[in-house]
Structure 1
Amino acid sequence: MARTPGPSRSLATCRHRCGLACARTAPNRSGNTPFGDLVRAEVSRRGLLGGALGALVIGAGAACTAVPSAPRDSAPATPTAASPGPSLAPLAFEPVPPNRDDAVRVPDGYRQRVLIRWGDPVLPGAPEFDHERQTAAAQRQQFGYNNDYLTVVPLPDPERADDHGRRGLLVVNHEYTNEELIFRRYDDKAPTAAQIGVAMAAHGMSVVELERVGDTGEWRLVRSGALPYNRRITVETPLEFTGPAAGSALLRTAADPDGRRVLGTLSNCSGGVTPWGTVLSGEENFDHYFVGGDEAPAAAKPALDRYGFHTKRRHPPGSRHWDTADERFDLAQHPNEANRFGWIVELDPYDSESVPRKRTALGRFKHEGATIVVAGDGRVVAYLGDDERFEYLYKFVSEERLQTGDSADDRRHNRGLLDRGTLYAAEFGFTSAGEIDGAGALPDDGAFNGSGRWLPLAQGELSMIDGMALDEVLVHTRLAADRAGATPLDRPEDVAIHPRDHRVYVSLSNNDYRGAVGRPAADEANPRHDNKHGHVLELIETGGDPAADTFAWSLPIVCGDPDDPATYFAGFDKTSVSPISCPDNLTFDADGNLWISTDGNAVTGPGGDPYNDGLFAVPVDGPERGRVRQFLSVPIGAEQASAYLTPDQRTALVSVQHPGEVGGATADRPASTWPDGDLARPAVVVVWRAGDGLLGR
């Protein structure tokens, strides 16, 4: 049965971000059940993955023995048992109270200002923003809409060779557009060609040069000079496919018969940074940009359905009508165009002429982002979340090792690391499966915890899934993970790696379908039915090795109002915890404190309206482990989409997405006028401590 968005999510958000996905049945109908809930013989598992195990033996000798069965009867060591000592420095700021203000709020003693907003010039010679006279040509040169993931990569300072902390390149994703907030008198049933052109140009990515203001924690845009690094990536920018699926028949179109070149990147959500200095960007909710699924070939429809494409209506709800401007968005004419989105994009921010690459070895799904860590043996590991209800957590381990030199050969080698390796999906097992009733109560052992294993989907040039060729596994990764038996989770989003010991943290944003009729019930890794608030997963790879095949896991934070007994904050006194709901992007500071950005706050105030989203900080070690405190709140209707903390811990750059995204709001009747008092404009905000102190201290 169709369901409407919950109280924290406006209809505008659902329509523009994901094409009303929350009002449809989730596309995962695999029926996968975590192994902690099953009593099944090993022969049954071999029946499920027999072809995969056979391929592994043929292709890699005894490698099949490297994925042992996780313990089913004995309780594994929990991640909390392996936690190190206290953080290097305690957090010390007065939490920002929950609010519904149309402003960015920060703690006393901190300063803030807007760094760059939608429509601000990016390229040299770009026109100033004119809301009443928007054009696609202007938008291609200006900062895009709905800035999500952001990061800063360093630039050397020509005047201070010993200091690389004064200049940098800000790299930002532009996830989607809110046309009714962008244009006056917008008709969503019949947008004009000019409006579609502007909206298309507002997607993609931006690269802009920054500099520190004196010796303070404040940063500003570099406005003068040649600006050789500044760049806009849009849906018209040529990109290249690399890796095992490049050239696959599944990627070929009339415009690209070789299946190796694609125009543009869409729905860029979170991302990551590689050790070799490139930036990764995840293509997420790309399905609703397409129409014509009803007329797609019958053979293509099962995969289209699994990825959320409408296959029964020509123009489904939430359609953007891009097919009227570019026929490649019509699946009736170009069904393979759907397969050309949903990838991890790698961008070299230091070369504005470089061609971004879609890395097919990392699989295709609704990528939140990609978080990179280097294993002890030098292999590169990428953690990947598929952000939809009942989807999976993935991991990629490179075949070759990182070269730490800076020669041309080293750089060339490292830039191929994400094209060769093993792609896995996670399966979770539990210690207290029979005690989980969906109410959120802790089991008798006092923790939501268990063990797990990584299920191989593709290894090098081999498919590990019986009945699927390698390119099918990589292009239709969800179907491969279904067959492998991966565990459905409550919207696995961003991943962050602890800077000292490689513990893995995953945000599971929410899932109000958990426990609904015909859908998976609560389990120990997803312990609440109608999960409106989400939770945070802590994962420790066996032996502390990111390339390991098995892991232990626990839930240190089960989000919501601390007054709700179905919440948990690592056992910390809940009277001293800030309400937190719908964790999204994650990052760590230099002291090892976890910072959580939220999206879709479902905690409501006295009037029944949800509080604004924000940025929260929490120690994951020591006596204050689990003490969540709100550091910042964003304006009404906005998402606190991402945060970047400078390595010296003096500055936070914060992404404020879709201010005023409230049902019924329009450009003529805005619900928010942040940041300038006239119309709502997504923007990046810089926050620093007055008196040049350290962030959070």
Structure 2
Amino acid sequence: MSELDSSAPFRKLMATAASRRRVMAGGTVTLATFLGFSAPATATAAAVPGPRRAERALLGFAAVPDSDADAVTVPAGYATQVLAPWGQPLRAGGPGWRPDGSGSAADQARQIGSHHGGLHFFPYDDGARGNRHGTLVVNHEAADAGLLHPSVRPPVREAHAKSLAAQGVSVVEVRESGDSWRIVDSPRNRRVTGTTPVVFSGPVGTSHPALRTGSAPRGTLGNSAHGVTPWGTYLSCEENVAGHFGTADRNWRPTRTQERYGLSASGHGHPRHSADPRFDLAATPNEPHRFGWIVEIDPHSPAAPPVKRTALGRFQHAGAYVGESGGRAVVIGGDDENGGYLYRFVSADTWRALRARGLSPLDFGTLYAARFEADGSGRWLPLTHGTGPLTAAHGWQDQADVVLRAREAADALGATPLDRPRQTAAAPAGGAFYCALADGPGGGSCGGAGRARTAGPRATNPYGHIVRWHEEAGDAFRWDVFALAGDPAHDAGVDLDGTGMSGSPKGLWFDSDGRLWISTGTSKRAQNKAECGHERLGNNALLVADPATGEIRRFLTGPRGAEITGVGSTPDGRTLFVAVQHPGERTDAWGAPSPDLPNAVSDWPDRDPSGRPRSATVVVRRADGGRVGGA
């Protein structure tokens, strides 16, 4: 393998470029200097906007300092409110929150789920009313057994059922009334859980042999990030699903595909297979094929079943940015594993034309994986049956086989392994694309284990970074590195001061003014730990970047143990919704909760000495009613 082989880990490509040039000041790594060439004046990639004049400054707030407090902090002049916390009933009269964790699985299925992730606000009106009234959709990625159950844990089957009920998606109608937002009773309010009936569409339909298990398909799990389609539906990304499966059968051995998708007999410590045979790899080997997809949910039609759109590929979906190119729907997102790939899907026709024919734009099109070159160029490689190595002669049966084994197909094409590619966002008005790479190898007790060791210009990558690219003609693109996360005290390549330092960027979202919001999720092993180089980064945070200048400021810090995940706003930009996921989770720095002491790490947001921490959505607004983040 040569040093310029683009199927090499991203670290090797970046190290080759970095050996020629040093990272420039200014918070960004530009193509023309960092990658060692002079781009033509007409090249899109070189057209990085210059600094804005003061009167047009995007970042109109004073950065908050890093924090290790068990609280949510925001800039002066802003206020917060907790909305839709874990366990709140979907409707008045529903089962209420029980601080001791004694609620049943049936209760949990009628309450807001746990581990808030991606979210979006769908307004009910294009006018002023739409800024005060709409549907809020929130993902729920997981459930923490140490917090989900009371001190006397229920039987295995009940514990398993409650865990499945705590995951999935919540759809609720919300309204601003006076100085606060609240959930209102509505026929739209519903939960999608690990047992909700679902259907499959695209190359792998519901009746496809690979999905046959003897029972109808049910459930969505690992719901992490999200996307929103131009036709008004919500896309929920299934991530980290491999850990739900295991087996006690000592004769079971993983196939090459099962191993490539992270399946193991241990089930990553989850005993689901002992409670439910559909999660037993030996008894029901096809069940894992039903997870790892993007799930489309219509927030306006509560009776419509969730649809798993298989043309988008099966892997650990950690994002689903949806845009348009020539009227065609484009979906871009990463596979969240060390050595994971960046993928793009382009619909076969304009989305309006497909929908006019009664077809889904997400069922017909081409799936691609990204290949990065060390000279700053790149190319999207089509994962199309019959193309290149993806032929019957090489063991690929059809397009259904390609999307079911999307990781292996990308392997075969020589896509470029990345450092946990997560969410992708695009600047307004046809600007650049950005992808958050959470982190790579950290070394020792700081974590970083994974299939491939990929990063930016670092021997190890415990902090992560953000890649930026511009699309060019055909399937080509030009890329650079927008920002290296971390602490310059431990990495001289980091050009961030105390107002913008962070670790593990995971979430990206652009507001309509062009501010790039960056949410972080440093792992529980590294968070707040000096030996991991995170002592000055504090708790996970929400930061804001000006893409034109590269300036990054910390806007919000979360409570102990929490990640900051989904971010969205009302159309007028005056109300920001922020998801706070798993406050009080076990961390090496703060300890671990237990059924007997659930608030050992955090008691946010209730501050109830006899209760437990709760994931929640935080509403952020300016006291003067202005646009959040602006001047």
Aligned equivalent of 1:318, options 241, 260, 269? 269
CA distance in 1, matches of 2:511, 2:239: 26
Partner residue in 2 for 1:291:
246
Instruction: Mark the CA change 1:631 to 1:557 in structure 2 (over 3 Å): closer, same or farther.
Output: same
User: 1:253, CA displacement in angstroms?
Assistant: 1.6
Instruction: Mark the CA change 1:205 to 1:482 in structure 2 (over 3 Å): closer, same or farther.
Output: same
Partner residue in 2 for 1:181:
147
Aligned equivalent of 1:668, options 561, 571, 596? 596
Partner residue in 1 for 2:349:
400
Partner residue in 2 for 1:236:
195
Instruction: Mark the CA change 1:145 to 1:162 in structure 2 (over 3 Å): closer, same or farther.
Output: closer
SS at match of 1:195: helix
Kindly indicate whether the alpha-carbon contact (under 8 Å) linking 1:514 and 1:521 is maintained by their aligned counterparts in 2. Answer: no
TM-score (norm 2): 0.85
CA distance in 2, matches of 1:667, 1:514: 31
CA distance in 2, matches of 1:338, 1:116: 31
Partner residue in 2 for 1:537:
467
Alpha-carbon RMSD: 3.0
Any unmatched runs of 5+ in structure 2? 14-34
Kindly indicate whether the alpha-carbon contact (under 8 Å) linking 1:513 and 1:529 is maintained by their aligned counterparts in 2. Answer: no
CA distance in 2, matches of 1:199, 1:639: 20
Partner residue in 1 for 2:18:
none
Aligned equivalent of 2:607, options 671, 677, 680? 677
Kindly indicate whether the alpha-carbon contact (under 8 Å) linking 2:194 and 2:221 is maintained by their aligned counterparts in 1. Answer: yes
CA distance in 1, matches of 2:48, 2:195: 47
Instruction: Mark the CA change 1:583 to 1:37 in structure 2 (over 3 Å): closer, same or farther.
Output: closer
CA distance in 2, matches of 1:520, 1:233: 34
Partner residue in 2 for 1:279:
234
Partner letter of residue 327 of structure 1? P
CA distance in 2, matches of 1:693, 1:81: 34
CA distance in 1, matches of 2:304, 2:400: 26
Deviation sequence 1:560-611 (CA, Å, 0-9, x none): 0144444344xxxx44642111001110122211110000165747797561
Partner residue in 1 for 2:24:
none
**Superposition pairs of residues 134-533 of structure 1, within 5 angstroms:** 134-156=103-125, 163-185=129-151, 192-214=156-178, 220-224=181-185, 227-246=186-205, 247-256=207-216, 262-292=217-247, 301-310=255-264, 313=265, 315-319=266-270, 321-375=271-325, 377-403=326-352, 411=355, 413=357, 416-431=360-375, 450-458=376-384, 465-466=390-391, 467=394, 468-469=396-397, 470-512=399-441, 526-533=456-463
Deviation sequence 1:240-299 (CA, Å, 0-9, x none): 00001213322222114xxxxx2000000001000000000110000111112866876x
Instruction: Mark the CA change 1:195 to 1:553 in structure 2 (over 3 Å): closer, same or farther.
Output: same
Partner letter of residue 104 of structure 1? V
Instruction: Mark the CA change 1:219 to 1:86 in structure 2 (over 3 Å): closer, same or farther.
Output: farther
Instruction: Mark the CA change 1:94 to 1:481 in structure 2 (over 3 Å): closer, same or farther.
Output: same
SS at match of 2:456: coil
Partner residue in 2 for 1:122:
90
Instruction: Mark the CA change 1:590 to 1:162 in structure 2 (over 3 Å): closer, same or farther.
Output: closer
The question of 1:656 aligning with 2:577 is answered no
More displaced 10-residue stretch of structure 1: 663-672 or 489-498 = 663-672
Partner residue in 1 for 2:510:
588
Kindly indicate whether the alpha-carbon contact (under 8 Å) linking 1:296 and 1:335 is maintained by their aligned counterparts in 2. Answer: no
CA distance in 2, matches of 1:586, 1:293: 40
Kindly indicate whether the alpha-carbon contact (under 8 Å) linking 2:77 and 2:623 is maintained by their aligned counterparts in 1. Answer: yes
CA distance in 1, matches of 2:352, 2:182: 33
Partner letter of residue 332 of structure 1? A
Partner residue in 2 for 1:440:
none
CA distance in 2, matches of 1:335, 1:457: 25
Kindly indicate whether the alpha-carbon contact (under 8 Å) linking 2:388 and 2:413 is maintained by their aligned counterparts in 1. Answer: no
User: 1:647, CA displacement in angstroms?
Assistant: 2.7
CA distance in 2, matches of 1:518, 1:241: 30
CA distance in 2, matches of 1:455, 1:196: 40
CA distance in 1, matches of 2:371, 2:387: 21
Partner letter of residue 81 of structure 1? A
CA distance in 1, matches of 2:547, 2:45: 9
More displaced 10-residue stretch of structure 1: 117-126 or 364-373 = 117-126
CA distance in 2, matches of 1:103, 1:137: 31
Instruction: Mark the CA change 1:329 to 1:519 in structure 2 (over 3 Å): closer, same or farther.
Output: closer
CA distance in 2, matches of 1:96, 1:464: 51
User: 1:31, CA displacement in angstroms?
Assistant: 11
User: 1:118, CA displacement in angstroms?
Assistant: 0.6
CA distance in 1, matches of 2:121, 2:267: 38
Instruction: Mark the CA change 1:169 to 1:35 in structure 2 (over 3 Å): closer, same or farther.
Output: closer
CA distance in 1, matches of 2:542, 2:504: 11
CA distance in 2, matches of 1:356, 1:462: 31
Partner letter of residue 154 of structure 1? P
Partner residue in 2 for 1:599:
521
CA distance in 1, matches of 2:12, 2:485: 24
TM-score (norm 1): 0.77
SS at match of 1:481: helix
CA distance in 1, matches of 2:84, 2:449: 46
CA distance in 2, matches of 1:303, 1:164: 46
Partner residue in 1 for 2:30:
none
CA distance in 1, matches of 2:44, 2:387: 33
- Work out the percentage of aligned pairs sharing the same amino acid: 41
Any unmatched runs of 5+ in structure 1? 1-29, 39-71, 257-261, 405-409, 432-449
Aligned equivalent of 1:98, options 57, 66, 73? 66
Partner letter of residue 469 of structure 2? L
Partner residue in 2 for 1:444:
none
CA distance in 2, matches of 1:526, 1:639: 23
Partner residue in 2 for 1:561:
487
CA distance in 2, matches of 1:229, 1:555: 42
Partner letter of residue 420 of structure 1? F
SS at match of 2:107: helix
The question of 1:635 aligning with 2:559 is answered yes
More displaced 10-residue stretch of structure 1: 420-429 or 77-86 = 77-86
CA distance in 2, matches of 1:211, 1:672: 29
Partner residue in 2 for 1:46:
none
User: 1:108, CA displacement in angstroms?
Assistant: 0.6
Instruction: Mark the CA change 1:532 to 1:295 in structure 2 (over 3 Å): closer, same or farther.
Output: same
CA distance in 1, matches of 2:309, 2:106: 29
CA distance in 2, matches of 1:566, 1:275: 42
CA distance in 2, matches of 1:243, 1:422: 12
Instruction: Mark the CA change 1:396 to 1:640 in structure 2 (over 3 Å): closer, same or farther.
Output: same
Instruction: Mark the CA change 1:295 to 1:342 in structure 2 (over 3 Å): closer, same or farther.
Output: farther
Kindly indicate whether the alpha-carbon contact (under 8 Å) linking 2:244 and 2:268 is maintained by their aligned counterparts in 1. Answer: no
Partner residue in 2 for 1:436:
none
Kindly indicate whether the alpha-carbon contact (under 8 Å) linking 1:297 and 1:335 is maintained by their aligned counterparts in 2. Answer: no
CA distance in 2, matches of 1:563, 1:685: 32
Instruction: Mark the CA change 1:169 to 1:488 in structure 2 (over 3 Å): closer, same or farther.
Output: same
Corresponding pairs, count = 577
Instruction: Mark the CA change 1:32 to 1:186 in structure 2 (over 3 Å): closer, same or farther.
Output: farther
**Superposition pairs of residues 17-96 of structure 1, within 5 angstroms:** 32-33=7-8, 81-84=46-49, 88-96=56-64
Kindly indicate whether the alpha-carbon contact (under 8 Å) linking 1:269 and 1:282 is maintained by their aligned counterparts in 2. Answer: yes
SS at match of 1:668: coil
Partner letter of residue 425 of structure 1? A
CA distance in 1, matches of 2:131, 2:416: 42
CA distance in 1, matches of 2:250, 2:303: 38
Kindly indicate whether the alpha-carbon contact (under 8 Å) linking 2:578 and 2:618 is maintained by their aligned counterparts in 1. Answer: yes
User: 1:518, CA displacement in angstroms?
Assistant: 11
User: 1:389, CA displacement in angstroms?
Assistant: 0.5
SS at match of 2:286: helix
CA distance in 1, matches of 2:259, 2:243: 12
